[in-house]
Amino acid sequence: MTDESTPRHFSLSGISWLTIVFGLLAIITFFAVNDSGGRYVTQMMGLGGGMSYTSVEMAVPPTAVDMVARESGASSAPSPAMMDSKAYYPDRYPYYSPDVPVTDTREFLKVYYNAIMRTRDVQGLTRRVETTVRGYDGRIDQESSSPKYGSVSFVVPQSKYDAFRTELESLVGSRFLTLNISSQNLLPQKQNIEEQQKQADTSLAGYKTARQNIVSAHASTLKSLQSQIDAIASRLATLRAQTQTYDVQIQIQSLSNDLYSLNQQLANENTSYSAQLKNADANIKSAQDWQKAVQTQDQNLLDNVATVSGTVSIQWISLWETAQLYLPGYWIPAIFAFLTFLSYLYDRRRIAVV
């Protein structure tokens, strides 16, 4: 029996190992969060949703470097430092005026989709992303996979984009997903193409009119020259049927000279006509080629808008980082500190009872 009047004393030797372990864990996790984890969790958690979303309507076209890299089919895997970058932006329509009248409310939105997924099985999730893309009639443009990092660049039809997003984003929890979605209205490029179309149509019509004028002028000149030649030939035939006096011979010589001159003019006219017609036909073909190129450019723009380009980056996540996603900031060391305090109180009570 203990004497209740005797004061009880508590010594550190009575602290249990459980209290010491909780205390050490609180200290270790505090410095771990303060050192590196907090920065990433703050970035990933944002305002508490675990997901960031941006929608940007860009007025400046992407650089031609991105187009070259895209069109060349470069398949090198992006480095981890690039995984937060935006998707490749094809620079197919570089010549346009960014000043779009507000009265033109049309939208030709090109959507770029980027996602970062974190998982314990990078290669397995990479294969599932590829399967999802192909399941929605998409195309894989680039793929890389390793135990720590994976990446899939793809294109899917705009008509299946919403359903594709729903299934793709269900592959991981919202805490393990970061989105960056941007859209660019290609209306300035569309207006430029339409302006080029008008110019091509006007040029083609002008060249065709010029060619018709050349043909008409040639026909008129040819008719005039031929009528003069026929008249002189008729007079020569009449004079040659007469008695060949000196005066008749002089007239025949004069008319012969005129006939030669007219025949020379006719030959020159035909030569000039051939050259002008050839040049007119070349101008028409050039205008037709321009018209066809503009139509192709317009179709390419519409095809581009009809697809969504995207990249999914898959990153390996440790158990510690997983815990931080569920308990961001200093929650983990705070919980260990609280458990340390409860264990300490229990130790005091236990020693006091003994």
Cα separation of the two ends of the chain:
10
Any domain includes 311: no
Task: Give the distance, in angstroms, between the CA of residue 31 and the centroid of all CA atoms in the same chain.
Answer: 43
**Does residue 245 share a domain with residue 200?**
yes
Any domain includes 195: yes
**Does residue 297 share a domain with residue 257?**
yes
Any domain includes 321: no
**Does residue 338 share a domain with residue 255?**
no
Global confidence as pTM: 0.58
- In order along its 354 residues, the chain shows pLDDT tens digits of 444 444 444 445 567 777 777 667 667 666 666 665 444 444 433 333 333 333 333 333 333 334 333 433 434 334 333 334 333 333 444 445 557 778 888 989 999 999 999 999 999 999 999 999 999 999 999 999 999 999 999 999 999 999 999 999 999 988 899 999 999 999 999 999 999 999 999 999 999 999 999 999 999 999 999 899 889 888 888 888 888 888 888 888 888 898 899 899 999 999 999 999 999 999 999 999 999 999 999 999 999 999 999 999 999 988 767 666 665 666 666 776 777 777 767 666 766 655
Instruction: Output the DSSP codes for 48-80.
Output: TTS------B--SPPPHHHHHHHHTT--PPPPG
Q: Could you tell me the strand order of the sheet in which 109-119 lies?
A: 139-145, 149-157, 307-316, 109-119, 177-185
Any domain includes 308: no
Any domain includes 107: no
pLDDT of amino acid 237: 87
**Does residue 255 share a domain with residue 339?**
no
**Does residue 257 share a domain with residue 338?**
no
**Does residue 197 share a domain with residue 297?**
yes
Any domain includes 68: no
Any domain includes 196: yes
**Domain limits at 337?**
12-46+330-347
**Does residue 245 share a domain with residue 343?**
no
**Does residue 283 share a domain with residue 338?**
no
**Does residue 288 share a domain with residue 220?**
yes
Any domain includes 339: yes
**Does residue 268 share a domain with residue 198?**
yes
**Does residue 282 share a domain with residue 221?**
yes
- CATH (domain of 281): 1.10.287
**Does residue 274 share a domain with residue 209?**
yes
Question: At residue 105, what are phi and psi to the nearest 5 degrees?
Answer: -100, 15
E strands, 81-206, in order: 109-119, 139-145, 149-157, 177-185
Q: How many domains does the chain have?
A: 2
Single-letter amino acid code for the residue at 144 = S
Question: At residue 101, what are phi and psi to the nearest 5 degrees?
Answer: -60, 140
